[in-house]
Amino acid sequence: MSDQETYLQQEILNKPLQKHGLLEELNLPPKAIRFIRENRRNLTIGLCCLVAVILGWSSYTQYTARVNDRAAALLAEAMAQEQPERRQEFLEKLLADYGRTGSAAWATSELGHLAFDAGKYEEAIRHYQTVLGDISASGALFPLVQMNLALAYENRQMPTEALAAFQKLAGKKGFAAEAFLAMARIHLAQGAVEQARELYQKVLALEEASDASKELAKAGLARI
Encode pLDDT of 166-205 as tens digits: 999 999 989 999 999 999 999 999 999 999 999 999 999 9
DSSP state of 140: S
Separation of alpha carbons 185 and 91, rounded Å: 34
DSSP state of 210: -
Architecture of domain 173-224: Up-down Bundle (1.20)
Counting as low any pLDDT under 50, the low residues of the chain are: 7-9, 11-23, 25-26, 60
- Segments of the chain assigned to CATH 1.20.58: 173-224
Domain 21-156, CATH class in plain words: mainly alpha
Amino acid symbol at 70? R
Pseudo-torsion of CA 32, 33, 35, 36, nearest 10°? 110
- Segments of the chain assigned to CATH 1.25.40.10: 21-156
Separation of alpha carbons 152 and 124, rounded Å: 7
Q: Tell me, what's the pLDDT at 173?
A: 87
Strands (E), 13-164: none
Contacts (Cβ under 8 Å, ≥6 apart) of 124: 112, 113, 115, 116, 148, 152
Q: Tell me, what's the pLDDT at 16?
A: 47
**Element containing residue 118 per DSSP (H, E):** none
Q: Tell me, what's the pLDDT at 8?
A: 44
Q: Tell me, what's the pLDDT at 78?
A: 82
Separation of alpha carbons 76 and 129, rounded Å: 23
Contacts (Cβ under 8 Å, ≥6 apart) of 6: none
Contacts (Cβ under 8 Å, ≥6 apart) of 198: none
Q: Tell me, what's the pLDDT at 28?
A: 54
Q: Tell me, what's the pLDDT at 198?
A: 96
Separation of alpha carbons 189 and 157, rounded Å: 11
